[in-house]
Structure 1
Amino acid sequence: MVYRGTRESEETDRMLALSDGVIAIAITLLVLEITVPEIPAGSPLSVLPSLIFEQWHEFFGFVLSFLVIGSYWVNHRRIFVHIERHDRGILWLNLLFLLMVAFIPFASSVFATYPDQFGIMFLSGTLALTGFTLALLWSYASRRELVEEGLSSRVVEIQAARFLASPAVFVLSILVAAFDPGLGILTWLLLVPINAVLQSRLVENLEGEASQSRVRTSK
């Protein structure tokens, strides 16, 4: 007879289904924060394009939050590709991550309504905390040896760096926005090159390990 706790530790389908559902709903809710502008009484219809353009911050907040949630979903998926079993700690940390994801649409709405220093810092803080919960999830799983056997410490470290990269950029954005809100927004662009470099290093290490494994097998 298989111990019940063992069966539960190997069941991840329901946890992943819940995670995918929460993330999908959060992404969908983002677009609801974009309002349709009202044409002032007596104004011609031709003013509509300019009114929509004035809402650039709403579109920017939507795209940024969508891409960040999407990247966090990708990282979440990569974590559970390597996790072979889980415990209560994983369950609660995953719920903490989902709590932050579910809060992102509200933070995006705050930024869309108040695209000033506070709005930038509030959205950046929310996205940073969300990323840190994901990094904490990976750190916990690797320290408790819940990840697959044979995963090198180098790969674990690069993955950890990847999970910390995005929240670190948002923390930097908060600090910069305290002095210059516009520059604080520009710091978000650092997400692209930093994640690209870390992804490249991760692929190189994984390919190197796979090559060494094939060599050992052929001997």
Structure 2
Amino acid sequence: MALPFRREADETDRLLALSDGVIAIAITLLVLEITVPEIPPGSQISVLPNLIIERWHEFFGFVLSFLVIASYWVNHRRIFVHIERHDKGIVWLNHLFLLMVVLVPFASSVFATYPDQFGVMFLSGTLALTGFSLALLWSYASWKQLVEDGFGSRTVEIQAARFLTSPLVFVLSIVAASFDVGFGVLTWLLLIPLNAALQSRLVENLEAYDSDSEYEGTG
């Protein structure tokens, strides 16, 4: 019985295929939350541009959720690039991540319908939990030593920091929105410089790791 279990542990293709499919569906459903405004009876069609502009929060929620899910997909892909095998814990933590991903379109819809304090906090909370579930997946994989051999602890730490950046920004957004809704929305902009800085550090460490691997291979 050990051989079939070992084959199952080494197989990640189906897990990735399921994840890609779920994420693709969730990211597509986001656009359905953008509604076409109806022109009031007796009004001219010239009022349509203003009606669309009034729904700016729907477009903003769509773009934000799309970019965040896309970022989480990139991080998810990056995790499984370095995971060589998996166990039941990885499978169920991955399902937890997918559970949160499919909730994002609903959270985006709530924000589009109620672009107030509750809407900002609800969307931020959902995106934060999604990010935390992904960080938990990486932490579990590194703790269980399911990542490729020789993967440096420093790189593991930078990866963890990279995965925690976005959810922590959304937690900050929740706190900020409790005082001022506009400030809560503005905190989302922190995602750009923080993720860019950590991504640069991560690339440097991965390049150093690849160089060391090549050197050991030729030694």
| TM-score, length basis structure 1 | 0.97
Structure 1 pair 118/163, CA: closer, same or farther in 2 (3 Å)? same
Correspondence 1:14 to 2:14: yes
How far apart, in 1, do the equivalents of 2:77 and 2:28 lie? Answer: 19
The code of the aligned residue for 2:9 comes to S
Aligned to 2:123: 123
Aligned to 2:162: 162
SS at match of 1:4: helix
- 1:145-180 deviation line (CA, Å, top 9, x unaligned): 000011100000000000000000000000000000
How far apart, in 2, do the equivalents of 1:92 and 1:3 lie? Answer: 22
How far apart, in 2, do the equivalents of 1:53 and 1:68 lie? Answer: 23
Runs of 5+ consecutive residues of structure 2 not aligned to the other structure: none
How far apart, in 1, do the equivalents of 2:81 and 2:54 lie? Answer: 43
The code of the aligned residue for 1:108 comes to S
Aligned to 1:95: 95
Aligned to 2:140: 140
What's the CA shift for 1:203? 1.0
98-107 or 203-212: bigger deviation: 203-212
Determine what percentage of the aligned residue pairs are the same residue. 77
42-51 or 197-206: bigger deviation: 197-206
Runs of 5+ consecutive residues of structure 1 not aligned to the other structure: none
How far apart, in 2, do the equivalents of 1:17 and 1:209 lie? Answer: 28
- 1:112-170 deviation line (CA, Å, top 9, x unaligned): 00000000000000000000000000000000000001110000000000000000000
Correspondence 1:194 to 2:194: yes
How far apart, in 2, do the equivalents of 1:103 and 1:217 lie? Answer: 45
The code of the aligned residue for 2:199 comes to Q
Correspondence 1:151 to 2:121: no
Aligned to 2:5: 5
Aligned to 1:66: 66
The code of the aligned residue for 1:38 comes to E
> RMSD of aligned C-alpha atoms?
1.2
What's the CA shift for 1:210? 2.8
How far apart, in 1, do the equivalents of 2:28 and 2:110 lie? Answer: 17
How far apart, in 2, do the equivalents of 1:185 and 1:157 lie? Answer: 29
Aligned to 1:175: 175
What's the CA shift for 1:209? 2.6
202-211 or 80-89: bigger deviation: 202-211
Aligned to 1:80: 80
- 1:165-219 deviation line (CA, Å, top 9, x unaligned): 0000000000000000001000000000000000110111122233334444555
